[in-house]
Structure 1
Amino acid sequence: MRFQLTEDQRALRDGVRGLLAARFGRERLRDAVETAGAAGLDRGLWRELGAAGFFSLRLPEAAGGVGLGLPEAVLAFEEAGRVLLPGPLIATHLAAGAVPGAATGETVVTLVDSGGVVEWLEAADVVRGDETGEVAGAAVSMRSVDPLTPLHRVGDGVGDGVGDRVPSDPDSDDSDCTDVLLASLLTAAEQLGTAARVCELAVQHARTREQFGRPIGAFQAVQHLCAGMLVRTEVARAAVYAAAVTADPADIAAARLLADEAAVRGARDCVQVYGGMGFTWESDVHLYLKRAWVRARRPGSLTECEELLAAELLAELR
């Protein structure tokens, strides 16, 4: 079986990339960093994403959505990860069929995850918490390593999040996949986009930065770093794309593990290629590393994925 992108999928990917390049390029990224917090969420861009169908990709056409599937959503979120697009993208996407205005970008939706942590709480119009839709207890601001992901902890630190909810379209191919698994897969897609972008940045820098009269890319140590980044990215890409097709919990767990590793290790290696420049505030590389760290702590992270895969393997042995 060949898992090649169709012409329509490539057009979707290129369209999302073009939209984000025009509306959230490097200059806008740096502006967002300077206005971090609720003010850093561009409502105009959010509505533009809604109009382009970003949040309603998986919503049936009869409900006003685009009517596509999980593979197309993964492609869109991969592009968001490439540019470090801020905001509760996944929560709003998953709420498109349940919260009025979420599909069009008029409503910003966030959620309480299984650890009681909320991203972008102050910027959100709707916070999905327990079954009543309310969030119990006061919210306490947390110090986030990523300037573009404000964090709060609510209640006693234990939230229901989206773990027991299912996609809004019961007729979709991924109807057996809970929202928490979908959120984990879309997080993996964002991590994949970040991994691909830092690999590109490292290679570009290695080609142009010179030491001892030669581009640093001519040195074997740098070549090994870049090659390792590329291998991890492409392995993660294969896993993420396959999980988007199967929507199998074990496949999603494997994809999340590989994508988290590709993003975090890739960003760290990119900093290494940049040398001292990679640690400076003026460089964008540290922003990719910090976002990868924050995403990696979301539900469906390392320990949870390892436990799920271990349980699958043990079940096969019995």
Structure 2
Amino acid sequence: MDFQPTEDQRDLRAGVRDLLAGRYGREALRASVDTGAAVDRGLWRELGEAGFFALRLPEADGGVGLGLPEAVLVFEEAGRALVPGPLVATHLAAGVVPGAAAGTTVVTAFDLGDGLVAYLGEAEAVLGASGMPAGSPVRSADPLTPLHRVTSYGDSSAYRSEGALLTAALQVGSALRTVELAVRYAGEREQFGQPIGAFQAVKHLCAQMLVRAEVARTAVYAAAVTAAVPAAVTAAVTAECAVGDAEIAAAKLLADEAAVGNARDCLQVHGGMGFTWEADVHLHLKRAWVRAQQWCTAAEAEELLAAELLGSAP
């Protein structure tokens, strides 16, 4: 079985990267941080027009008609660009919530524990709920992921498999981007008359980041290709994680570790510069922290994997 992207898939990924680079580059990202605009409605509609949310809808229903592997590639690019907003929930709502596929409706989900919902104030619908729950704002680690604590918590377990995998793809994109940021800074910053990238300790740190990101990317790609995940999973769920299969749980676990670990190491490479508000490194770290709690946490994934291993033991 060949897990390498096809030419069409590579073209799709390149097209999405170009779209986001032109529409949501660093200046737009920093403007969002400065203004606190967690969802850019214009960008949301443009993503809808480009087929981002309707990517896996059948063509007969107005969608693009592609599959989960293509969606993973697209979400990887969104994670690389740190595009804010409930991308996963709106994508999953395409064909279910009117306007989600076209990007005219913002949809969030019950994808966090502790009674928290992200982007509740920016959304018109919550996936798996009949109405909008009441909630009170809660301070978030990520300036572009506003949180609300809700009084009634709905059920989004039917979407957790796909939600976990697509969130893992976002994490992989962020992990790969922080590798790029670290390597670039290591080549530019000089100490003792030479770039800091010439020092063995920095070389090893960057190499470890690359290995971490590529292992996670391989796991996410493999899960996307091999997992037969229906649009709404109703039976193959667990009481705690509800991910649906061990491959997706493992992919999410590795992607979370890569995104958080790489952001930390990227900050280390940047030194004091990495701690400043002007640097983008802290944005990747904060977003990775939040995503690690969405759809399936590390503890939940580990429990599912342990149960899978014990169940297959002789």
TM-score tier after normalising by the smaller chain length? over 0.9
Aligned to 1:185: 165
In the TM superposition, residue 155 of structure 1 has moved relative to its aligned partner by 1.1
1:87 maps to which residue? Answer: 85
In the TM superposition, residue 40 of structure 1 has moved relative to its aligned partner by: 3.5
Q: Tell me how far 1:181 sits from its aligned partner.
A: 1.0
The CA deviation at 1:247 is 1.7
Aligned to 1:7: 7
1:310 CA drift (Å) = 0.6
1:205-225, CA deviations, whole angstroms, 9 ceiling, x for partnerless residues? 001100010100011110111
- C-alpha contact 2:112 2:293 (8 A) present in aligned 1: no
Deviation at 1:231, TM superposition (A): 0.3
Aligned to 2:238: none
- Give the partner amino acid of 1:160: G
CA 1:196 to 1:108, structure 2 compared with 1: closer, same or farther past 3 Å? same
Equivalent residues in 2 for 1:128-167, closer than 5 Å: 128-130=127-129, 133-136=130-133, 138-155=134-151, 159-163=153-157, 165=158
Gaps of 5+ in 2: 229-244
For structure 1, the 5+ residue unaligned runs are 166-178
- 1:165-204 CA-to-partner distances (Å, cap 9, x unmatched) read 3xxxxxxxxxxxxx10110000100000000000000000
Aligned residue pairs, count: 297
Partner deviation per Cα, 1:78-135 (whole Å, 9 max, x = no partner): 00000100111000000001011100101111112352221111111112354xx134
Equivalent position of 2:272 in the other structure: 276
Instruction: Give the 3-state SS of the residue equivalent to 1:282 in structure 2.
Output: coil
Equivalent residues of 1:12, 1:76 under 8 A apart = yes
For 2:131, the aligned partner's letter is E
Structure 1 residue 56 and structure 2 residue 50: aligned?
A: no
2:255 partner amino acid: A
Does the alignment pair 1:314 with 2:294? no
Three-state SS of the structure 1 residue aligned to 2:104 is coil
Conservation of the 8 A alpha-carbon contact between 2:125 and 2:131: no
| SS of equivalent to 1:98 | coil
Counterparts of 1:280-291 in structure 2, within 5 Å, are: 280-291=276-287
Output the amino acid matched with 1:297.
Q
Listed one character per residue, the Cα deviations across residues 19-44 of structure 1 (whole Å, up to 9, x for unaligned) are 000000000000000111xx442111
1:203-282 matches, within 5 Å, as 203-247=183-227, 249-282=245-278
Aligned equivalents of 1:194 and 1:207: distance in 2?
20
Secondary structure of the 2:137 match is strand
One-letter identity of the residue aligned with 2:156: V
1:172 matched residue in structure 2: none
RMSD of Structure 2 on Structure 1 (CA)? 1.2
1:104 partnered with 2:98: no
TM-score scaled by structure 2?
0.92
**Which residue is 1:176 aligned to?**
none
- Structure 2 Cα separation of the partners of residues 40 and 56 of structure 1: 21
Runs of 4+ residues over 3 Å off in structure 1: none
Shift of 1:161: 3.6
Cα distance in 2 between the residues matched to 1:114 and 1:108: 17
Partners in 2 of 1:128 and 1:75 — Cα distance? 23
Letter in structure 2 aligned against 1:27: E
Q: Give 1:20-35 correspondences, 5 Å limit.
A: 20-35=20-35
**Relative to 1, partners in 2 of residues 1:114 and 1:264: Cα closer, same or farther, differing over 3 Å?**
closer
